[in-house]
Chains A and B, each alone.
Chain A
Amino acid sequence: MVRFILKRTGYMLVTFYIVLTLTFLSMKLLPGTPFKQAQKLTPQQLNTLKSYYGLNDPIPVQYVRYVWNFIHGDMGGSFQYGNEPVTDFLFARFPISLQLGINAMIVGTVLGILLGIVAGINRGKSLDWGSTMVAIIGVSIPSFVLAAILQFFFSVYWRIFPVAGWGGFMYQALPTLALAIGVTAQVARFMRTEMVEVLNQDYIVTAQAKGLSRATVIYKHAVRNAMIPVITIVPPMTAAVVTGSLVIENIFNIPGIGSQFVDSIVTNDYPMIMGTTELYALLYIVSLLVVDILYQLVDPRMRVTGGKA
């Protein structure tokens, strides 16, 4: 097990190193100069600026410096905000995005499991049909359309929640919901399948034959077993939540890294784009690692027994 985790962590580091290299290369491939109003500068001034930022060194030297700086937590300065370190921005804004993401994951998973259970035990009835429809609609409608609908009705029309901003529960409710629906839908579909499968198992019949009540059979025997595989589909959904958070944060004007990212794309703030990209990649790669380890812990059949998996 320890060996497995070490090996996976090694893979993870390699993948992340590739991301780092790719972002560096694409930064070099990007058109234009990083300086504001570069056309107004004389070639000499431009040259001085370039050598000040080390942009005149050969690409390999720049590359080594870039990696070295990254290891020391320096991702360069933002173009947009007077060369302020990108890392500071990310550290200041990340907790907000994390909070939103975790909210959405928890709400989405809990709702999804409930919906899946309801659908699974009422298989083929109208409740099943209804929750399947909800799941398909949840999977299909883009989160930004949903967010706009929620914002319009709950904030503008009925004035229940604040329109935008970040703060306590009232501020968090709508963005969390908008982000959670996609998770809910996926978990619900998965949970329903698992429930249907588990309910057909012999041990459910045994439990019923023992004279256990319906609630006990469903909760103690069916749901608990059906939930095991669901655990493993939750972490990969971080990618979807991250994608969603980009637009959701923008729509609700939440000061997280998502809205920052969209801003930096619009203003061509390359170091910020690269820094955020790397952070997202890291998040995703770590979540894949977590899934791998979870699989191992949860399902002994998946356990890697030496050799190639």
Chain B
Amino acid sequence: MMATVNQEVSKELFAPADIDHSSSERIAGESVSAWRDSLRRYVKSVPAMVSTIIIALTIVLSIVGPHFFGYGIDDQNINLQNMPPKIPGLTWIPAFDGKYQGVDVYAQKHIKKAYWFGTDALGRDIWTRTWSGTRISLIIALVATLVDIFIGVTYGSISGYIGGKTDTIMQRIIEIIAGIPSLVWIILLILIMQPGLFAITVAITATSWIGMARLIRGEMMKLKNQEFVLASRTLGAKNSRIIFRHLIPNSLGMIIINTMFSIPTAIFFEAFLSFIGLGIRRPQASLGSMINEGFRVLMIYPYQILFPGVIISLLLICFNLMGDGLRDAFDPKLRR
């Protein structure tokens, strides 16, 4: 013990450290791409994930739901009008006990089968109609949004990338369209085209692409002067290649965020139009037209508005929350 303490520290014990410059440059963690990083942030957000799951469930139900009981959306049964909702096994929940003002209607009419969401004034199964209505609402929203992305991105990229006179003219056109309230556009278009699935989709698209076009134009103007575009051009890339391979992929985050906010707007407008009688034609159902039908009997049979109302509200809330989550994930700077 003593020996070690007294040992002299001699010069030979030291050797020059081996400096390896590459080690200081090494990245310890696994390299994370921007997409992975966004995904990681998105998955961490509880409201966004819950919303994603709810939306996924709704989509699945809107596909399989209408086939659960084998009723068609327009199968009427005059003997079974306005049956209250009843779900076997869930009868302890007041909303699903199959009772209307304390009377068990199912027992009264000696009916074995149960209508999960009840029936409407024509004896149609509300479960079947609600989910096929959800499907129509979702299809309209999806198609309108896809067309809106396509037109908006094309228009915005051309306007922003070319710039100059083209841009000025294209922006004046947008200003005029945006100067007129979208409600006015939509109603005029639908009156001309006759209400229906196609007319609604066209009308919703006609106004919603403007927001996307403006956004993309801004992105294009920001990106087109950056070095990587210059580098690409120096290497001989054509305009189309620059737009499609460099500019649009770089603004994809923005496009996705904006899309997530256009879907709920489209769902809302479809429901709104169907509610005021300019939407889906009978006997087809959409969430809006079902809310309209349910509203007429609100005082007597409140359950008929309950299910479509709850589903549309849930869908809109979830899409908005998903949009918020995506925005935070893709662009933390915008976090609010």
Mark A residues whose CB is within 8 Å of B.
Answer: 11-12, 14-15, 18-19, 22-23, 26, 29-31, 136-137, 139-142, 144-145, 148-149, 151-152, 156, 163, 189, 192-193, 196, 239, 242-243, 246-247, 250-251, 262, 265-266, 273, 277, 280-281, 284-285, 288
Contact = CB atoms under 8 A, between A and B. Distances in A.
Given A142-B312, A145-B309, A23 B188 contact: yes
B298 A277 contact: no
A152 B276 contact: no
Nearest to A129: B47
B291 A19 contact: no
A139 B323 CA distance: 13
Contacts of B278: 265
A292 B138 CA distance: 36
A305 to B, nearest CB: 19
Given A136-B320, A156-B299, A277 B184 contact: yes
A239 B276 contact: no
Contact of A262 (B184, B188, B276, B291): B276
Contacts of B180: 15, 18-19, 22, 281, 284-285
A193 to B, nearest CB: 5
Nearest to A244: B272
Nearest to B295: A148
Nearest to B324: A136
A142 B181 contact: no
A151 B305 CA distance: 12
Contact of A142 (B176, B191, B277, B316): B316
Contacts of A26: 188, 191-192
State the majority secondary structure of interface residues on B.
helix
A265 B187 contact: yes
B313 A142 contact: yes
24 contacts: A15-B176, A22-B188, A23-B188, A26-B191, A142-B268, A142-B312, A145-B305, A148-B298, A148-B309, A152-B299, A152-B302, A156-B298, A156-B302, A196-B336, A239-B182, A239-B183, A246-B183, A246-B276, A247-B276, A265-B187, A284-B179, A284-B184, A285-B179, A288-B179
B139 interface: no
B194 interface: yes
Given A144-B291, A262-B277, A280 B181 contact: yes
**Which range holds the interface residue count of chain B?**
35 or more
Interface string B286-323: 00000100110011001001000100110011011100
A284 B192 CA distance: 22
A19 B320 CA distance: 32
Given A26-B188, A156-B302, A265-B276, 10 more contacts: A136-B320, A137-B317, A144-B271, A148-B294, A149-B309, A152-B299, A193-B336, A239-B182, A262-B276, A262-B277
A273 B184 CA distance: 10
A140 B299 contact: no
Contacts of A22: 180, 188
Q: Which 4 A-B residue pairings sit nearest by Cβ, starting from the closest?
A: A140-B316, A15-B179, A284-B181, A140-B317
Nearest to A156: B299
Contacts of B277: 262, 265-266
Contact of B336 (A12, A137, A192): A192
Contacts of B264: 140
A243 B183 contact: yes
